[in-house]
Amino acid sequence: MTANEPGQPASGPSTPSFDLPTPTVALAIGAHPDDVEFGCGATLAKWAADGCTVHHLICTDGSKGTWDPTADKVALAERRQDEQREAARRLAHDHAGECRFLGYVDGELDSDLAARGRVARVIRELRPDVVLGHDPWKRYRLHPDHRHAGLLACEGVVAARDPHFYPEHHIDHHRPDTLLLFEADEPDHVEDVTGWVASKLAALEAHESQFESTMHALDDTQLDAFRNRIIERLRGLGEAHGFAAAELFKRISDL
């Protein structure tokens, strides 16, 4: 397919856009505590340092994020909220906004009308210029929470922007400027995060309960290996575009 067929956008995968202007307010929506840091942590750190208020919305309680079959899931969910708040502080410092938690049971998230309304309400309350979320159309994605959280981000934006959706909110509707989808199936937007990888790592490492099951980092050697995997991944993503490090997104600006 050529990029400039009639009816096709002038920009395509071969001609990405680069570096949004720093938003005033960003809202990152993740399925679990730590997803936002993995997906867009360096970009959020960069924006926060330039004055952007960074909010988090986490859809599930993260209560299945352990390999320990005897784990106290209530205690784990509480611990993961604390870790998420610490990660937000490490990313955004004085510009860390709110961490909202919808509290759906880990593994059981659905993108139904009730959940969509809750996401739309948060968008209307926090009024972000940019919303970031999982790409729900990423092929061969297995984890249902990531797919549903991505759908909720997209459909929540639609519901938040239109005044006849969820009038029971009694909050002015709100139309963000841009939606950025991380882990994108067809990325077409590049954020240069040179200098911000350490902030992403610091925030990821706030999620200490995930060192075993997600980061595979049970000792210093393994933690170094995890850090190097992240550093190499962002370096690899940046290399193709002339940056020392990058995070990639699908950008949707026609909201």
Pick between residue 41 and residue 238 the one whose CB is nearest to Zn ion. 41
Pick between residue 95 and residue 134 the one whose CB is nearest to Zn ion. 134
Structure tokens at 96: 């860390």
Smallest distance, Zn ion to C-beta of residue 216, A: 15
Q: DSSP state, 128?
A: -
- Contact map string, positions 8 to 37, toward Zn ion, x by CB under 5 A: -----------------------xx--x--
Pick between residue 141 and residue 235 the one whose CB is nearest to Zn ion. 141
Strands (E) across 15-128 are located at 17-18, 25-30, 53-60, 96-104
Smallest distance, Zn ion to C-beta of residue 26, A: 19
CB 237 within 8 A of CB 248: yes
Write the CB contacts of 116 (distance below 8 Å, at least 6 apart in sequence).
152, 155, 156, 159
Distance in angstroms (rounded) separating the CA atoms of residues 252 and 255: 7
Smallest distance, Zn ion to C-beta of residue 122, A: 18
Smallest distance, Zn ion to C-beta of residue 35, A: 4
Pick between residue 35 and residue 192 the one whose CB is nearest to Zn ion. 35
Smallest distance, Zn ion to C-beta of residue 47, A: 22
Structure tokens at 82: 């604390």
Edge-to-edge, what's the strand order for the sheet holding 130-134?
17-18, 189-192, 246-252, 178-182, 130-134, 25-30, 53-60, 96-104
> How many residues make contact with Zn ion (CB under 5 A)?
3
Q: Which residue is nearest to Zn ion (CB)?
A: 32
Pick between residue 32 and residue 121 the one whose CB is nearest to Zn ion. 32
Residues within the interface to Zn ion (CB under 5 A): 31-32, 35
